[in-house]
Amino acid sequence: MFALVEAWHAGLFRRRYWLPNIVAGLIVGVVALPLGMAFAIASGVKPEQGLYTAIVAGLCVSVFGGSRVQIAGPTGAFIVILADIVAQHGIDGLQIATLMAGAILLLLAIFRLGAVIRYIPPPVIIGFTAGIGVIIWVGQWKDFFGLPVAPEGHFHQKLWALVQAFPDLSWAVTAVALVSLVLVVVPRWLPYRLGRIPGPLLALVVLTLMQALFGFEWLPTIGSVYGDIPRALPTFQSLDWDYARWLQLLGPALAIAMLGAIESLLSASVADRMAGTRHHSNRELFGQGLANIFSPLFGGFAATGAIARTATNIRSGGSSPIAGIVHAVTLILIILVLAPYAGHVPLATLAAILFVVAWNMSEIPHALTLFRRASWLDTLTLVVTFTLTVFLDLVVAVCVGVVLSWLQFIPRLKPHKNTTG
């Protein structure tokens, strides 16, 4: 219980810290609602599984992680890997791979490899996150524009199928998506107090109420496509323990573990800069490992540190694991009370939310700055990592990117002079 113990020693369980952390937890829990469902649907699983993941992973990381303010749950970075696993191995295969990834993260923590993962070069991180952002963006065109296709295959095949289907787009669905997009973005331009309203929540509430009142039959919703969200807590479920299948899923599990480690430690580092804290990388990997072991056992899937939700937590006054625990409890209460209304959530609204997520992940301003100021090898590393992520494979992209980054250090190595003869 690393995070709780550290917070206790820091005096963050005193009475004056309770209210700010409870308020922060409530805000983050509300923000996590649309994101959890959107990430689940984009990953090829049921929307409630995204909420289950946020609850279980949020509790594990807040109690056992290495950062006092980290918020964990499903993230956009995982969408590409998870959707591919679901397509090839099904949802149960994804849950097996997630549990194996959790065990790998525990091993990384036990062997104290957290510090090594933190030193992946920035061009590699920007390259693969930008690539993931592009894949997420294109992957949401179907629901955003109401396209009558279900594209399959590699990225270029999906892209071409979607482009060919554009003449048949639904203008009504597109209008709903554009209104949703405006509502997601608008709060950041409002005065301070109004600007604190989470854009995804605003879009979710407004468009869900609209659909509940008018019941547009032409508008695809969570209920019409996936059925109603159960009004119940996640329950324990056993996994298939076939040895041959587990061996087959070892590669996907390694990919989940690698990306989860990078994303969680990156999020913890961002939290340190914002909150003036200092996370413990190996303890953070330990908490993330437990999260990914328990999440699939309770109906969830892969989780990691969520940068946007962690930043929201800090800005809202969160300073201890109490906020992360309250965030999970908030989602539990939402499921028990508001689950029947989730069926009216338009898929176009979730697509608009993911459009903004994809833009934020792409880090285009940061990438442009790197292009102007970095060396040619850093620029090449970013471009190659980005291209391989989009058109080939994320793991291959990161490995190749790291090798290219290391090449710039070879000329600086001086040969050892032999002084014995």
Placement of tokens 């989009």 in the chain: 390
Give pLDDT tens digits for 233-292: 888 988 888 888 999 999 999 999 999 999 999 899 889 988 888 899 999 999 999 999
Please give the residue that has the higher pLDDT: either 395 or 23. Answer: 23
Q: What pLDDT, on a 0 to 100 scale, did the predictor assign at position 5? A: 80
Q: What pLDDT, on a 0 to 100 scale, did the predictor assign at position 420? A: 46
- The whole-angstrom separation of Cα 80 and Cα 307 is 18
Q: What's the pTM value of the predicted model, to 2 decimals? A: 0.89
Give pLDDT tens digits for 342-392: 899 999 999 999 999 899 888 788 788 877 888 888 889 999 999 999 998
Give pLDDT tens digits for 315-351: 889 999 999 999 999 999 999 998 888 899 999 999 9
Placement of tokens 């039959």 in the chain: 217
Q: Is the pLDDT of residue 117 over 90?
A: no
Q: Is the pLDDT of residue 42 over 50?
A: yes
3-state secondary structure the chain: CHHHHHHHHCCCCCHHHHHHHHHHHHHHHHHHHHHHHHHHHHCCCCHHHHHHHHHHHHHHHHHHCCCCCCCEECCHHHHHHHHHHHHHHHHHHHHHHHHHHHHHHHHHHHCCCHHHHCCCCHHHHHHHHHHHHHHHHHHCHHHHHCCCCCCCCCHHHHHHHHHHHHHHCCHHHHHHHHHHHHHHHHHHHCCHHHHCCCHHHHHHHHHHHHHHHHCCCCCCEHHHHHCCCCCCCCCCCCCCCCHHHHHHCHHHHHHHHHHHHHHHHHHHHHHHHHHCCCCCHHHHHHHHHHHHHHHHHCCCCCCEECHHHHHHHHHCCCCCHHHHHHHHHHHHHHHHHHHHHHHHCEHHHHHHHHHHHHHHHHCHHHHHHHHHHCCHHHHHHHHHHHHHHHHCCHHHHHHHHHHHHHHCCHHHCCCCCCCCC
Under the banding of pLDDT at 50, 70 and 90, the label for residue 115 is confident
Under the banding of pLDDT at 50, 70 and 90, the label for residue 129 is confident
Which phi and psi (to 5°) does residue 232 adopt?
-155, 160
Please give the residue that has the higher pLDDT: either 415 or 287. Answer: 287
For residues 61-81, give the mean pLDDT.
Answer: 94
Q: What pLDDT, on a 0 to 100 scale, did the predictor assign at position 396? A: 87
Q: Find all residues with CB under 8 Å of 146, minimum gap 6, and list them.
A: 169, 170, 172, 173, 174, 220, 348
Q: Is the pLDDT of residue 185 over 80?
A: yes
Under the banding of pLDDT at 50, 70 and 90, the label for residue 168 is very high
Q: What pLDDT, on a 0 to 100 scale, did the predictor assign at position 410? A: 65
